[in-house]
């Protein structure tokens, strides 16, 4: 058993994702003499509940990263507040679901999540004639997980957007 885990594995209320993965593992390891119990599929369903939570966390992080890129690079002023609302909503969702285990997972997956968010942000900006802006996106994720999760933190707009807002 990994260090720091309670004797009966992760607690449901403390870390739902880790709990689902642990319970599926326990269920698969238990002897089962009764053919009526479909142990493998029940374990898979429990495991999938956790995986669904993981996918949802990844989706929210991608959404935040997509809008961070737009905020940091697009000179457009009109959609800025909508992007910020989307970020705030995604952060609220993450706050409800992000356990210690999912946080470590998101951190490990951040380069991949950023690459997908970058693609989506690029398509979104091309739609508004800002392909040149998308070409300036950093190749690697410039944002730390703490910035992604920090309520009220947003990337600074590009100088052109600041000038438009001031003008």
Is residue 6 in a domain?
no
Residues with Cβ within 8 Å of 75's Cβ and at least 6 positions away in sequence, in order, are 130, 133, 157, 158, 160, 161, 164
The predicted model gives 26-51 an average pLDDT of: 86
- pLDDT tens digits for range 92-120: 999 999 999 999 999 999 999 999 999 99
Is residue 113 in a domain?
yes
Structure tokens at 49: 């509940």
Residue 73 and residue 137 in contact, taking contact as beta carbons nearer than 8 Å: yes
pLDDT at 163 over 50: no
Is residue 77 in a domain?
yes
User: pTM of the entire structure?
Assistant: 0.83
Is residue 84 in a domain?
yes
Q: What is the mean pLDDT of the chain?
A: 89
pLDDT at 164 over 60: no
Is residue 19 in a domain?
no
The predicted model gives 125-142 an average pLDDT of: 92
pLDDT at 84 over 90: yes
Is residue 44 in a domain?
no
The predicted model gives 48-68 an average pLDDT of: 95
* Number of domains the chain is built from: 1
- Backbone φ and ψ for 83, nearest 5 degrees, come out as -65, -40
DSSP 8-state secondary structure symbol assigned to residue 32: -
Is residue 39 in a domain?
no
The predicted model gives 45-50 an average pLDDT of: 88
Our measurement of the distance from residue 33's CA atom to the centroid of its chain's CA atoms, rounded to an integer in Å, reads 41
* Residue 126 vs residue 34, higher pLDDT: 126
Q: Determine the length of the chain.
A: 167
Is residue 37 in a domain?
no
Q: What would the 3-class secondary structure string for 97-115 be?
A: HCCHHHHHHHHHHHHHHHH
Domain that holds residue 139: 53-152+159-166
Distance CA 30, CA 151 (A): 44
Q: What is the pLDDT of residue 80?
A: 92
Distance CA 9, CA 18 (A): 8
């Amino acid at each position: 058993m990994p260090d720091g885990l309670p004797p009966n594995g992760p607690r449901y209320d403390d870390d739902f994702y880790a709990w689902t993965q642990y319970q599926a593992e326990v269920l698969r390891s238990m002897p089962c003499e009764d053919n009526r119990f479909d142990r493998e599929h029940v374990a898979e369903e429990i495991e999938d509940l956790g995986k669904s939570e993981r996918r949802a966390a990844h989706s929210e992080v991608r959404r935040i990263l997509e809008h961070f890129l737009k905020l940091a690079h697009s000179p457009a002023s009109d959609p800025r507040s909508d992007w910020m609302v989307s970020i705030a909503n995604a952060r609220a969702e993450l706050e409800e679901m992000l356990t210690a285990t999912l946080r470590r997972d998101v951190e490990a997956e951040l380069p991949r999540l950023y690459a997908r968010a970058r693609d989506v942000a690029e398509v979104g900006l091309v739609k508004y004639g800002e392909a040149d802006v998308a070409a300036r996106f950093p190749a690697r994720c410039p944002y730390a997980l703490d910035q992604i999760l920090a309520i009220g933190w947003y990337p600074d707009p590009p100088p052109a957007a600041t000038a438009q807002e001031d003008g």
